[in-house]
Structure 1
Amino acid sequence: MNRELPWMPSEPVQVSPEEYEIQVVDWLKTASKGQMDFEVQHLVKLSGGSGEYTIDAVARFHVFGGAELVVLVECKRLKRPVEREVLITIHGKLKETGCTQSYGIFYLWIPKWSN
């Protein structure tokens, strides 16, 4: 089964990094329909132990009768594998800002090899 996925199209559209971030925020809003108290914001500034960070998207929602979950989303639209340092940086932002989870939304360009 070769299904077309919105985050990994067979023929990617050329968009700027900011346009890609906005699209990811829209996907999160659409996916959260029915989730009470769900909020997602684009380009949020959060303070951490080493200073202030600008996060591509921050989602906040409540579960289990009131526990707030805060999810950091870093968007990377790359033509190469995500480097280890990028993942370590995202994890560091998670720990320093006291957020619950950190996710990277990555689009990786997969070349079509010709024979």
Structure 2
Amino acid sequence: MDNRYPKLTLTPLEFEHHVRSMLDALGHSILEYKSEHRDIIQGVDGEYEIDVSARFEFLGMSFLVLVECKHYKNSVKRETLQALHDKMRSVGAQKCALFTTSGFQSGALKYAETHKIATVKVTDGHSMYFTKSMGAELIEPPPWANFPVVSGWLIDGNHGSVVSADHGEFLERFLFSCL
């Protein structure tokens, strides 16, 4: 979550594909998992285009998770999460998540915590490298370190947990533990 690393230079479409790969990283442990990019889902009040959807079966029941990707310059506002939560209820999804390149306003994080919405800040993959110094000077990872181009941080209260195509366990626990 360190802002000293370079900003991502992804197009919105590339950003959505990276988010889908992060979500797919956790699909290995559930049955009949599939994800869709730009899925059109019928709700009680109309159709919605969802950036990434994930469907799976667990304990003989079908589940749907909605994921919105916001490639913003400014922090995500509470209203954006409210709109996602409304879509979730309209289409009958069980969970939702919002991935952004910009971070979240405090009111948005409070709303997400109250409604159990996963919030993930997507960053340059080098942000996975932390040292004890954590000073003002950026310390580059060693050349042998193999970090993804894109990673993310699941923001849960005062904690941040890494999310990437290789590390989906924290997001998986957040999204699927309360179903």
Q: Which range, TM-score by smaller chain?
A: 0.7 to 0.9
Bigger drift between 10-19 and 90-99 goes to 10-19
Shift of 1:61: 1.0
Aligned to 2:52: 57
TM-score w.r.t. length of structure 2:
0.52
Alignment equivalent of 2:64, drawn from 63, 66, 70:
70
CA distance, structure 2, for counterparts of residue 88 and residue 50 of structure 1: 16
Identity of aligned residues (%): 29
Helix, strand or coil for the counterpart of 1:78?
Answer: coil
Which ranges of 4 or more aligned residues in structure 1 deviate by more than 6 Å? Answer: none
Bigger drift between 54-63 and 31-40 goes to 31-40
The one-letter amino acid paired with 2:18 is Q
Q: Identify if the C-alpha distance between structure 1 residues 43 and 9 changes in structure 2 by more than 3 Å, giving closer, same or farther.
A: farther
The one-letter amino acid paired with 1:80 is N
Unaligned runs of 5+ in 1: none
CA distance, structure 2, for counterparts of residue 58 and residue 52 of structure 1: 14
Q: Over residues 50-101 of structure 1, what are the superposed CA-to-partner deviations in whole Å (9 max), with x where a residue is unaligned?
A: 211100011011112x111100000112222211211111011001111111
Unaligned runs of 5+ in 2: 104-122, 124-135, 137-179
Helix, strand or coil for the counterpart of 1:70?
Answer: strand
TM-score w.r.t. length of structure 1:
0.78
